[in-house]
Amino acid sequence: MGSQGFNNNQKNRQRLGITEPISLSGPSEYDVIKTDELEKFLADDAGLYESHEEAISREEVLGQLDQIVKIWVKKVSRARGLNEQLVQESNAKIFTFGSYRLGVHGPGADIDTLCVGPRHADRDEDFFGELKKMLLETPDVTDMHPVPGAHVPVMRFKLNGISIDLLYARLSLWVIPDDLDISQDSILRNVDEKTVLSLNGCRVTDQILRLVPNIQSFRTTLRCMRFWAKRRRVYSNVAGFLGGINWALLVARICQLYPNALPNMLVSRFFRVYTQWRWPNPVMLCAIEEGSLGLQIWDPRRNPKDRCHKMPIITPAYPCMNSSYNVSSSTLRIMTEEFKRGHDICEAMVLSNGSWLELFEPYRFFEAYKNYLQIDIVAKSDEDMLNWKGWVESRIRYLVLKVIERDTNMLQCHPHPGDFSDKSNPFRCSYFLGLLRKEGVPVNEAKKFDIRLTVDEFKAHVGSYSSWKPGMDINVTHIKHRDIPSFVFPGGIRPTQPARVKTRKRKRDDDDTSIAPELFKNDGLSTDGFSDVNVFDQVGIKTEILDQNNEGIGGQLTSENLAFEKLKSESPQEVDNNFAKGTDMEFSTIKPVPSSVTISNNNAGTFSVNMNLEELEAPELDAPLPNLSYATVASQKKPIMRLSFTSLAKATGNST
């Protein structure tokens, strides 16, 4: 699997990327040994490589799908009244992208595929109509779930037990040649926006493979970083972290900066570079090209929304886009802390010749916080739940941005990237968000915040789902750590807590307890008796947030300086970033409801950072973005949710 992938041909000075490499050094004997250990861990302990039989099965499935679409396009051509010669020449092709195309997929992973068809094969009528019908009539096809209204329309199904995500690109050509090269920009001429988005996944994936100096080292490093991100709970585009394409771009940039390094060194340098990266300076594999087709590219000088992006990771294929604009200041902080942790572990490994196990230790989300928001959703059938989940997941990011960051500017929110189901109720699903006070906010300034307005708006946005059906409902409640439901833990067994040392009580502030009790109701949730208006019920939430100087129950969170310049904006980005596929749909604007209660919003100001980059001399680390200024957003005036802040000592009755 590849530590011998290094060869002397790599010792050339051909530059890949927008800057010169940081180091051209080759691997040491230590690097070779540790890379072998890493590959063995990923294969044997983590089980990230599929078997030879499964690999062959995937190839057979792709061949079968290719034959199906070729029959489909001829059928469509004949139905359109084309002459027999054009019918016989009609063609459609299947391309792959994502983890399968990059060569980093694991056992049981789905295959991201793209069907490219001619101009007379329509997306709605032919792709989601005739092709869907043909697939349903195929005995080997199961679990069909088309999503024509998604940001990038997709048809999901299983073929011979292998999950397929199938996109469609309708080109302006009458005949699709067998040797079609979709990497050429001319392929985007005279096509619709959905086709541009659908083609982007394949075009970006192929460009990444062209821009890395050693594909084998890139693949091993990317497997490692994807596994690490999932273990540390920072792998999820929809939750505001990073998805597969984002991690691929970050790893590819490290490979460019260290073109002759083996995975052991690449993993270490990954954490070193991104611990010190000065966000929002963008990560780019190549220069951004304007192109000749007039398509919009990422450009914060011209596009105001691009200035709001916290962690720009730019795709290398035209039109270049920011693949990570779901990232918020809270999720960026969490990822920066995880990069720092990874860097410290890698440094310690060199000193003690340690193993890789500590790096991949799972993040204990439900031991890291004292306070959580629990979002419960219900539906009445499997299909309704599948659709409802996809919609709610795409809206949780809105809750993180608007409730926690824009309205109060004093809270930080950590969304768990996954969902949890109670086996006793198959049509109920729960999501969790950890809450804590923002770093640097004094306890006496973090008193009472009524943010029920934004929770109500969040529920209203969710309730505006165009495909809403009776039985689809949502409830948002505050829970303490001790009240976390047991079904979130492995085997349904809550872990035991270590005994605490008793200390003196800390003096409480006089005005920390006066909160109207009628604001706090905890609505029950069931699948019976829901009316259409329940989606819009207000939920009052009172919570006590940990003192940031404490590390939480599990000792998972530490106070680290963020290596980025904080941008202020008029509003958070409210568009979805399902890079090559997705289930997002537009929602209607909700008008704010006036009230007599005012929410205080203290601006945190800009971060001051002192970056000593050691060997990191890439010019992009120092390149500032244009000087930008933004108007401060006026605080909303209707109370939605009330939060009372105390320190850890106050919450536990102990003093420091």
Distance CA 61, CA 48 (A): 21
The pLDDT score that the predictor gives to residue 450 is: 64
Distance CA 22, CA 618 (A): 7
C-alpha Rg value of the chain to the nearest Å:
26
CA 426 to the chain's CA centroid:
26
Taking 80 as the threshold, does the pLDDT of residue 641 lie above it? no
* Least confident residue range of 8-22, 299-313, 413-427, 553-567: 553-567
* Least confident residue range of 75-89, 137-151, 454-468, 502-516: 502-516
Look at residues 292, 272, 263, 284 and name the one whose alpha carbon lies nearest to residue 187: 292
Taking 70 as the threshold, does the pLDDT of residue 633 lie above it? no
- The pLDDT mean for the chain works out to 77
Question: What's the pTM value of the predicted model, to 2 decimals?
Answer: 0.76
**What is the per-residue pLDDT across 340-380, written as a single tens digit (0 to 9) for each?**
999 999 999 999 888 899 999 999 999 999 989 999 999 99
Strand intervals (E) in 367-472: 371-378, 411-415, 420-421, 428-437, 448-450
Residue 447 pLDDT level (bands cut at 50, 70, 90) = low
The pLDDT score that the predictor gives to residue 407 is: 54
Residues belonging to the chain:
656
403 or 487, which is more confident? 487
Determine the angle formed by the axes of helices 29-40 and 215-231, rounding to 10 degrees: 60
Q: How distant, in Å, are the alpha carbons of 65, 131, 138 from that of 141?
A: 10, 12, 6
78 or 511, which is more confident? 78
Helix, strand or coil, per DSSP, at residue 170 = strand
The pLDDT score that the predictor gives to residue 57 is: 96
Q: How distant, in Å, are the alpha carbons of 104, 187, 468 from that of 82?
A: 42, 23, 41
Residue 622 pLDDT level (bands cut at 50, 70, 90) = very low
The pLDDT score that the predictor gives to residue 583 is: 34
Which CB contacts under 8 angstroms, 24+ apart, belong to 110-113? 110/162, 110/163, 110/164, 110/165, 111/58, 111/61, 111/62, 111/162, 111/163, 111/164, 111/165, 112/165, 112/167, 112/201, 112/580, 112/581, 113/62, 113/65, 113/164, 113/165, 113/166, 113/167
**What is the per-residue pLDDT across 513-523, written as a single tens digit (0 to 9) for each?**
222 223 233 33
The pLDDT score that the predictor gives to residue 44 is: 94
Residue 428 pLDDT level (bands cut at 50, 70, 90) = very high
Q: How distant, in Å, are the alpha carbons of 370, 552, 643 from that of 505?
A: 18, 18, 22
Q: Give DSSP secondary structure letters for 107-153.
A: TT--EEEEEEE-TTS-IIIIIIIIIHHHHHTSTTEEEEEEETTSSS-
Taking 50 as the threshold, does the pLDDT of residue 591 lie above it? no
- The structure tokens listed for 202 are 């394949």
Phi, psi of 93 (to 5 degrees): -125, 150
Residue 490 pLDDT level (bands cut at 50, 70, 90) = confident
**What is the per-residue pLDDT across 239-292, written as a single tens digit (0 to 9) for each?**
999 999 999 999 999 999 999 999 999 999 999 999 999 999 999 999 999 888
The pLDDT score that the predictor gives to residue 448 is: 58
What share of the chain has pLDDT > 70, as a percent? 71
The pLDDT score that the predictor gives to residue 539 is: 36
**What is the per-residue pLDDT across 175-219, written as a single tens digit (0 to 9) for each?**
999 999 999 999 999 999 999 999 999 999 999 999 999 999 999
